[in-house]
Structure 1
Amino acid sequence: MNSISGAANRKGGALEVDNYNGLYKHRLNFYQQAPLLEVSLEEFESWAIDRLKILAEIEASQVRNRPFNDTKAVIKSQSAKLLSLSTNYTRTATLEAERKKDHVSHYVLRLAFCRSEELRRRFVKAETTLFRIRFDDATTAEKNAFLHSMKSSQSSKVDWEEVDDVEKESLRPFLISSNPGIAIKPAEFEKELYYKVKWTQVPELVERRRVFLKQGYAYVPMREQTSLILNSFSSQLQQALEFTAKALPRLDEDSRLLPVLSHLSLSFLAGLSSEAFDPASFNSDRKISAESIDMLAKKHFPMCMRSLHDRLQNTHHLKHFGRLQYTLFLKGIGLSVDEAIVFWRKSYGANISDDKFNKEYRYNIRHSFGLEGGRKSYPPRSCQKIITQDQPGPQDNHGCPFRHFSLDHLVPSLRATYGITDTNDLNEITGAVKAQHFHVACTRVFEITHANKGVRKGDGLGGGESVNHPNRYFERSLELSGEAQAEPMTVDGA
């Protein structure tokens, strides 16, 4: 399979990619032809991020052992918002644009995730699941048209051989008995199509004894076509990623692309989509008072922020990165700069003098709000940044508890902080941590602690959404409590 080549070509500040084949005739895609078109650098990154969100949600579903139908429902809902892919029958004006985005975003992530065996393995698994969901949702006519195009395409590596009527009849008893669990009537057998492929292409069908084997070939009935197609998709994608990895050094000359690709791959390794804080998605009119923080922390804070809050209240001190992480979070929930100064001065108490606080801490608080220095207003940190950046040392308290706490520290903290004592619940959380899906562990904590608000296992923040930002966790918790309001509000300590 081809990979993006010549991706470093420059033209008018846009990215030029080779081998774009024009019209997209099918919604389903094996991505065998690399795109040839110009996309802006903004599209290059934003389209990839949207696809990454879908793949991250697929991984979260797999870690949480969701049934396929539940995963399919969640991914279809997320795809409708992020990576819509209409059928030919809709005749929507955006059909071509949707398929262009799907095509380009796949190849961008292919560049990002070809860099290591671990990334390639996870990318193939998630992409294969996405293809399965789309294939399962396609009509019979869509499937047949796509398969016909695959078999007739000169660039296709599909080597399925359709069994002719003569050979099929000669093998009738063996083909009928190849699947003891399904009784095939004579009329059904006459209509059934069989494909002859090397048995290594369908190992799971061989393992389950769902196919007839002869001289190294498996005879796959049409009813088992999904397994055949998915194996072909994943094996070709794996080969393509390995080929792309060898060609990747050619991109070293383009300083625009490598930071983007590195950022995307780090996000995926963290099990998260790369998502910046979007002020529009939060209640910017809410006014939080310094006095209300302790009450809000106990009811609505995610564990990373609850841990920082408790440490601050107990020791009256946080080191630099802890203060920065917590200050930006509080800013995001609606704490003004004046209230932030009041909160931090009170929290530090008698540990420091007013003069020392004003000289060493007041400036940094105002700097975080964009009122000092370069006057850049810094956004609250996402889970991806908290997990991958500014790794905490032995004496630090910032970071993600699910990533940076030992299990011997994490489990007692879950019991003490959130009252989670059920063994099954704790095993689910620690299991996700051991699999390095830290956002899944955090999402499970949200579900458990909000069960009294009607949140069930698998619901996440709503509709299966996983936690990917501390401020999103807070907003959803506040919303479920009924304390959030559409109109500007003030939350005080009352």
Structure 2
Amino acid sequence: MEFSRRSRLRPEAQFGMDSVLDWLIPHNVALYAIPPMVDLSITELQSLALERLKVLRILEQATNKNLKLSSDEGRETVFNEMNHAGLKHYVRLCQGNHSKDQDLAARRKDYLSHFILRFAYCGTEELRRWFITREMELFRLKFAGLSPQDVKDFVMKYEMGYSPLTAEQKSEIKDGLYDSTIYHSVMQIESMDFYKVRFTDVLDLVRGRRCYLRAGFAYVCASDFVSIIANKHQQLLEDGLQAHLRLLPEVENDERFAMILKELHTSYTGKDYRVSKTGQIPIESLDQLSKKSYPLCMRYCHDTLRSKHHMKHGGRMQYGLFLKAIGVTMEDSLRFWREEFTRGTVTLEKFEKEHAYNIRHNYGKEGSRINYAAYNCMKIITTNVSPQDTHGCPFKIWEPSVLKTKLSSFGLSAAHAEEVVGFASRGHYQIACGKYFEISHNTKLEEGITHPNQYFDLSQITVGARAPKVKPQNQNRRTFGSQDTSLASVRSTQQDTTTMNADDDTELWELMESNEKEAKEGIKHESLLLKQPEPAGSTQAKKPTSEWGDDEDFDVSQVEMDQN
């Protein structure tokens, strides 16, 4: 595989001609037998690799949740996750075989991304095992969407040498088929295609008594034909990874490609959290929010800082970027860390000299002025920590007994704490975090936890403090769901209706403009007050962090309304 600085966007330019593309990838279910010879830019290579990695991680999460990918429920859950992640082309490949332009484009992405990831996952036995497991799940997911005719096309286009039994051959063994294929009715069996294969090729079907055995051969229905192909596909994957391993030293001569491969397995593939777009969070609310909406890793950081008034660099980076992403301003962040550290052993002069610069740097106001993103779960999990550190993933670094005690102190029952600890003990740290969320919020998660700020956002939506995003309705006829947050204060005065008539519309918009005008005047007045020096002993001065009220509930929606 060769890499150039410029990407050729058209598939025919990548492969030379459409006929070559059709020959190399003749079906939506690919076997990845022949490596592609194409030119790719580094940018496109990285994009393709991360897209496929998203797919494989979605499958991993579904499997860890004990979802059966062969069931309608499991398939629907996975497809919803893929669509939500912008991976509709992969969903298309899992819904039968077609030859439209969209299918050809999807096949190209699927094929190229597979071979890119082979280089990233051929290095160790652990990586190879993970990659093969996930790829086999994707293969079975795609194959399960094929119709009997699609299966015939698959066998024919890959020249596998199998052909369905003729009506005469089927009639000779029909009694055996009826007796051994208990999952289908007689009528279904008569209309289904069956294939004759060596029984050693389908030992899983033999073990599950899902095929008819006769004279050393197994007669397999089309819906179970995946068992035959899966064994061959897995062997292709294993051989292919070994071949890529031999090529790896040569490929890694390109430093850019080597860096991508090194970081790919731990790359974050979810939403990018840099600065909150939902409004500012006052630091006086952090104590309450930490109990309500923080994931365990951030709650431990917050509690430790509030009790010890000090935190090492790793913890400051992990927690500081999290605070920035939930909506804490740089000014409030400086005040928060200053008041905490100076309550400990750090003098004000030392704080300004050693710590204030780093906080401004995280907000992109110093140094290279990079707007740093908050740490994702994968980065936190893979970070090395010492016993004195407060950062890292508690589900990974804490002993089961310590974790169980901490969860119990947060209000989880013994049974619930044991359930969460069970996931963590088996290495499913993000699943454990998701289960902790479900138990503490008494709800069911529709997506896996991949980022602390995602956890915070979902928590705020669940407790009703932050409304989920709603797609705007028709511009000419505004609905309550499409109004700005500033209309929330007048919702309670409306009757149970979904749309507004012309009079209501005018009245509401006049009210909204009035509210916005008052808010702007209030902000202007407040800014003038802030410029004036406050008298000594003024009761209007901001409270130090030591005087925050833990028992005062805090509603993020009110802050967001104030911002508008």
Map of 1:420 onto structure 2: 412
Q: How does 1:166-315 map to 2 (within 5 A)?
A: 174-179=176-181, 181=182, 185=186, 192-214=192-214, 216-267=216-267, 273-275=268-270, 277-279=272-274, 283-315=276-308
- Judged with a 3 Å threshold, the aligned counterparts in structure 2 of structure 1 residues 189 and 438 are, in CA distance, closer, same or farther, namely closer
SS for the counterpart of 1:84 is helix
Whichever of the two has the greater Rg, that structure is 2
Q: Deviations over 1:41-97 (max 9, x none)?
A: 122112221221221121112112124333311211133322424368988654432
- Whether the 8 Å contact between 1:319 and 1:396 is mirrored in structure 2 is yes
Kindly indicate whether the alpha-carbon contact (under 8 Å) linking 2:123 and 2:245 is maintained by their aligned counterparts in 1. yes
The 3 A distance-change label for structure 1 pair 442 and 182 is closer
Amino acid at match of 1:434: S
Query: AA paired with 2:220?
Result: V
The aligned counterpart of 1:133 is: 141
- Residue-by-residue CA offset, 1:114-149 (whole Å, 9 max, x unaligned): 222222222222222222222223344333322321
Q: Give how far 1:311 is off.
A: 0.6
Q: Using the alignment, how far apart are the partners of 2:175 and 2:233 within structure 1?
A: 31
Q: 2:430 aligns with which of 439, 442, 463?
A: 439
Per the alignment, in what secondary structure is the counterpart of residue 287 of structure 1?
A: coil
> How far 1:215 moved relative to its partner?
5.7
Cα pair 2:197 2:219 within 8 Å, conserved: yes
Is the CA contact 1:124–1:234 (under 8 Å) kept in the aligned structure 2? yes
- Contact 2:148–2:193 under 8 Å retained in 1: no
Distance 1:422 1:176, change over 3 A: same
Contact 2:15 2:38 in 1 (8 A): yes
Report what 1:270 is aligned to.
none
Extract unaligned runs of 5+ from structure 2. 468-483, 487-556
Which of 101, 110, 123 is the equivalent residue of 2:118? 110
Q: Decide whether the 8 Å contact of 1:49 with 1:275 is kept in 2.
A: no
3-state SS of 1:110 partner: helix
Deviates more, 1:303-312 or 1:112-121: 112-121
Q: For 1:294, give the aligned amino acid.
A: D
TM-score by length of 2: 0.74
Q: Quick one: which amino acid aligns to residue 403 of structure 1?
A: K
Amino acid at match of 1:106: H
TM-score by length of 1: 0.83
Could you say which residue in structure 1 is the equivalent of 2:361?
Answer: 367
Aligned length: 459
**Cα deviation digits, residues 5-26 of structure 1 (max 9, x gap):** xx2x343456999999413543
CA 1:90–1:174 in 2, change beyond 3 Å: closer, same or farther? closer
Q: Does 1:73 align with 2:68?
A: no
Displacement, 1:336? Answer: 0.9
SS at match of 2:21: coil
Contact in 2 for aligned 1:19/1:33 (Cα 8 Å): no
Does the 8 Å CA contact 1:277/1:381 hold for their aligned counterparts? Answer: no
Matched, 1:381 2:375: yes
Check 1:198–1:117 CA distance in 2 against 1; reply closer, same or farther (3 A cut): farther
The alpha-carbon distance between structure 1 residues 19 and 249, as it changes in their structure 2 partners (threshold 3 A), is farther
Aligned partner (choices 138, 145, 151) of residue 143 of structure 1: 151
Q: Distance in 2 between matches of 1:159 and 1:230?
A: 15
Aligned mates of 1:265, 1:256 — CA distance in 2: 16
Percent sequence identity over aligned pairs: 32
> Which sits farther off after the overlay, 190-199 or 333-342?
190-199
Counterpart position of 1:82: 87
- 2:350 aligns with 356
Local SS of the residue matching 1:138: coil
Query: Does the Cα contact within 8 Å between 2:6 and 2:40 map onto a contact in 1?
Result: no
